[in-house]
């Protein structure tokens, strides 16, 4: 329950309710409120914005804020509406979130990697009028398709602000013109209707069958030796050498099969949460694909 200085007034879950963002950034719930709107809200708990206080906030107003002098309420409203925002820093933070968690598969240019992750450039979920599909994809992930690897669930990794940051970023980057700006309240609303428990994370980590593209014993052994951490350059180099024993197979089939074998290692590993193990498999897939492309 201690405040985080770097996230002042950005909101969080409190008593199973989401306290909204009231900072000065572009996702603030009070961006279109005037100081007068705020003063009115803080006194009776509702205003002309048709917003009413409920739960702990209703208690706070009833037992505390409603008893303040008008000048004190005006001072609070003035403070909230006149916060300074470092726009450049905010953009850097959002871009870094994408780089840390998404770039290894979808690429810095958003074009994805064949056999690993689809392109985010011009895709229906990133350039369409509504953002719900993109939000659900980030929250829940999805199992591998015929030509794509696993999409991890970030429900245990991102908070609502980070989900909205990432979705807004991919829907406006690389020429995308996705409509419907996402704020954390929409993310929180959709999360209520999503299966976000460990079962959902595990279902998104369904491993491709090795029988589809059978690996030889040497390659399988090398994959099993990788352990719980992303492959080192030396370990990846072994897999690149293994790849030369499959000259008739294309890189997509080889990467999918190797990643499937690694996926089974990840599922049986005891180290880390399912979400962390899932991300490790995704990082591994990206490393192997890049190694094959550079050989």
User: Domain residues of the chain, as ranges?
Assistant: 5-81, 87-196, 217-294
Collect all residues with Cβ–Cβ distance below 8 Å to 222 and sequence separation of at least 6: 235, 238, 239, 242
- Mean per-residue pLDDT pooled into runs of 10, the chain (295 residues): 71 73 74 89 83 85 93 95 73 80 85 81 84 86 68 79 90 84 84 57 52 58 60 68 73 70 64 69 74 71
Answer yes or no: are the C-beta atoms of 174 and 120 closer than 8 Å.
yes
- CA torsion 41-46-52-54 (nearest 10°) is 70
The CATH homologous superfamily of the domain defined by 87-196? Cytochrome c-like domain (1.10.760.10)
Number of continuous H segments (helices) and E segments (strands) in the chain: 14, 2
pLDDT of residue 210: 47
Q: How many C-beta neighbours within 10 Å does residue 232 have?
A: 12
CA distance from start to end of the chain: 50
- Distance of alpha carbon 124 from alpha carbon 133, whole angstroms: 9
pLDDT of residue 268: 58
């Amino acid at each position: 329950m201690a405040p985080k200085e770097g996230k002042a007034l950005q909101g969080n879950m409190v008593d199973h309710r989401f306290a909204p963002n009231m900072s000065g950034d572009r996702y603030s719930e009070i961006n279109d409120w005037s100081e007068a709107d705020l003063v009115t809200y803080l006194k009776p708990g509702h205003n002309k914005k048709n917003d009413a206080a409920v739960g702990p906030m209703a208690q706070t107003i009833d037992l505390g804020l409603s008893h303040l002098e008008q000048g004190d309420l005006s001072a609070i409203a003035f403070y909230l509406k006149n916060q300074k925002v470092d726009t450049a820093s905010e953009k850097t933070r959002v871009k870094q979130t994408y780089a840390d968690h998404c770039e290894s598969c979808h690429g810095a240019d958003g074009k994805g990697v064949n056999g690993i992750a689809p392109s985010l450039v011009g895709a229906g979920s990133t350039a369409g009028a509504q953002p719900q599909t993109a939000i659900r994809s980030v929250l829940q992930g999805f199992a591998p398709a015929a030509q794509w690897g696993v999409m991890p669930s970030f429900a245990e990794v991102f908070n609502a602000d980070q989900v909205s940051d990432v979705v807004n970023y991919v829907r406006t980057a690389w020429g995308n013109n996705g409509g419907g700006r996402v704020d954390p309240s929409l993310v929180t609303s959709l999360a209520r209707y999503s299966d976000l428990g460990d079962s959902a994370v595990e279902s998104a980590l369904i491993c491709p069958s090795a029988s589809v593209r059978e690996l030889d014993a040497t390659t399988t052994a090398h994959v099993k030796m990788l352990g719980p951490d992303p492959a080192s350059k030396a370990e990846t180099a072994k897999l690149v050498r293994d790849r030369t024993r499959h000259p008739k197979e294309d890189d997509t089939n080889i990467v999918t099969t190797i990643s499937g074998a690694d996926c089974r290692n990840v599922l049986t590993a005891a180290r880390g949460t399912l979400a962390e193990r899932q991300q490790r498999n995704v990082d591994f897939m990206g490393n192997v694909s890049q190694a094959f492309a550079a050989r």
